[in-house]
Amino acid sequence: MHIHILGICGTFMGSLAVLAKELGYRVTGSDANVYPPMSTQLEAQGIALTQGYDPAQLAPRPDLVVIGNAMSRGNPCVEYVLNEGIPYTSGPAWLTQYVLQGRHVIGVAGTHGKTTTTTMVAWVLDQAGLNPGFLIGGVPNGFEASARLGGGKYFVVEADEYDSAFFDKRSKFIHYAPTTAILNNLEFDHADIFENLEAIKKQFHHLVRTVPGKGRLIVPTDDVNLADVLTRGAWTPVEQFSVDVPLPKAGWRADCLSEEGSSFAVFRDGVKQGEVHWTMSGHHSVCNGMVSIIAAEHCGVSVAQACDALSSFPGVKRRMEVVGVARGVTVYDDFAHHPTAIATTLGGLRKKVGDARIIAVIEPRSNTMRLGSHKDTLAPSVADANEVIWYQPAGLDWDLGPIVAASTVPSMVLNSIDDIIAKIVGEAKQGDQVLIMSNGGFGGIHRALVQALEA
């Protein structure tokens, strides 16, 4: 069977391609922008990639076309598929039909932290010998690829609230019917899809409706939006947790043993169950670790086992990933593209490096950012940096100038990657931390900056 994937270099669709190849299908795909790390992973898997959407790539005719949610009417390949009557489906529907049937699905949902948490859960189950399958919306360290079928009954999936396809506007996670559902957090995002926060809450409520009574819902105690979702109905036992906040009733709690979150103790019903000592940092990382432990426990992994596994967790590419150190300057790549994620990431780095100078370089690239939905909260999100360089990409429909004017941190706007590199190389000193944040390739700035510093 020949499957062709439109939008194959997206983090979800690329992982889907890996699963299809493992199932024994012939897999090809195309995308408008082919860039690492997904393109590198796909090429390593022997999957042929085509740049652009010329319908000629659909000859000879594939048996099935899987259409990514970035595709819309008017795309030449989409129009060709429809006109020629080629069978097609969405990514989430394909995953459910060909992979998830009969599996115990652990779905990881939430505005922030899905990729890292999905990887954590998969890592813990793998270290416990359960050989889980997984689909991760990024490229994890510690695994050969971002997806695999696995050999056990468990499958861990990054359960995104984004829509499924141009012909199916339901959130992806509605397809998955998880037995264990992690709801990490909930904020307004994806302004190109959702009109307001209420629209996203409705989709999360629909997700909750699909979780069986024998399953689990894992939810933090301090998220008011998720609390509102649960008031609309929950037919599944709910496991709640807190971080550094005593619970008024039985439940899970993490107590940070270090200010930066590099170690924490796990309590259940007031009784200490274990400790995690790892390379991660930040309050958000502790939260991600806690839900991973609780989810693994629902799959039969002891808390002590889960803590030991997380203590060796190798992380995920593009999540506070050290690209290189040159002239004593450390350069990080991070996927943060929402004000909360920017603030959380910078806060975690600040606790980790103390008084060292942090230079933040931010590309407002996501669809929500491009629409300006979060522009009023961007200035305060960078408070933990010492200096901020905002990149004004082509196609951004609003001016970043007011963000600079409102910032309490020295800031500037540059519209050239070469200018950004020259600026940093000209002023960077030993001990500086350069944190580059974008949900795209950012023109290869990360490696280019390290090379320029070395030179």
> What CATH number does the domain containing 399 carry?
3.90.190.20
With 70 as the cut, is the pLDDT of residue 247 above it? no
360 pLDDT band, cuts 50/70/90, is: very high
Specify whether 134 is located in the same domain as 280.
yes
369 pLDDT band, cuts 50/70/90, is: low
Q: How many structural domains does the chain have?
A: 3
Cβ atoms within 10 Å, residue 329: 22
Cβ atoms within 10 Å, residue 300: 11
Measure Cα distances from 199 to 186, 193, 204, 348 in Å: 12, 9, 9, 31
Q: What pLDDT, on the 0 to 100 scale, is given for residue 67? A: 98
* pLDDT tens digits for range 136-170: 987 788 898 889 999 989 999 999 998 999 999 99
Specify whether 163 is located in the same domain as 302.
yes
The residue whose two tokens read 């000592």 is: 277
Measure Cα distances from 109 to 29, 159, 176, 183, 231 in Å: 27, 5, 11, 5, 18
Residue where a domain stops, chosen among 60, 91, 122: 91
Residue at 280 is within a domain: yes
With 90 as the cut, is the pLDDT of residue 237 above it? yes
Rg (CA), the chain: 22
Q: What share of the chain is helix, strand, coil (3-state, %, to 5)?
A: 35, 25, 40
Residue where a domain stops, chosen among 37, 70, 91: 91
Specify whether 294 is located in the same domain as 352.
no
Residue at 184 is within a domain: yes
Phi, psi of 326 (to 5 degrees): -135, 135
Q: What is the average per-residue pLDDT within 368-394?
A: 77
Show the domain range for 446.
321-454
Specify whether 141 is located in the same domain as 256.
yes
Q: What pLDDT, on the 0 to 100 scale, is given for residue 373? A: 58
* pLDDT tens digits for range 284-303: 889 999 999 999 999 999 99
- Find the CATH number of the domain harbouring 169: 3.40.1190.10
Specify whether 182 is located in the same domain as 47.
no
278 pLDDT band, cuts 50/70/90, is: very high
Specify whether 35 is located in the same domain as 125.
no
Which of 105-114, 239-248, 281-290 is the least confident region?
239-248
**Kind and range of the H or E run holding 274:** strand 271-277
Residue at 400 is within a domain: yes
Residue at 97 is within a domain: no
Q: What is the average per-residue pLDDT within 371-397?
A: 78
Q: What pLDDT, on the 0 to 100 scale, is given for residue 144? A: 86
Q: What pLDDT, on the 0 to 100 scale, is given for residue 442? A: 80
Q: What pLDDT, on the 0 to 100 scale, is given for residue 368? A: 54
Q: What pLDDT, on the 0 to 100 scale, is given for residue 420? A: 92
d(CA 342, CA 436): 10
Q: What is the average per-residue pLDDT within 220-243?
A: 94
Residue 381 or residue 71, greater confidence: 71
Specify whether 57 is located in the same domain as 177.
no
Give the start-end residues of each E strand in 68-143: 88-90, 104-109, 133-135
Residue where a domain stops, chosen among 38, 58, 91: 91
Residue environment code for 384-395, b if the CB has 16+ CB neighbours within 10 A, otherwise e: bbbbbbbbbbee
Residue at 420 is within a domain: yes
With 70 as the cut, is the pLDDT of residue 274 above it? yes
Residue at 96 is within a domain: no
The residue whose two tokens read 């009109």 is: 195
Specify whether 305 is located in the same domain as 326.
no
Q: What pLDDT, on the 0 to 100 scale, is given for residue 304? A: 96
Question: By percentage, how much of the chain surpasses pLDDT 90?
Answer: 59
Residue at 315 is within a domain: no
Which of 126-135, 229-238, 394-403 is the least confident region?
394-403
Q: What pLDDT, on the 0 to 100 scale, is given for residue 366? A: 63
What is the overall mean pLDDT for the chain? 89
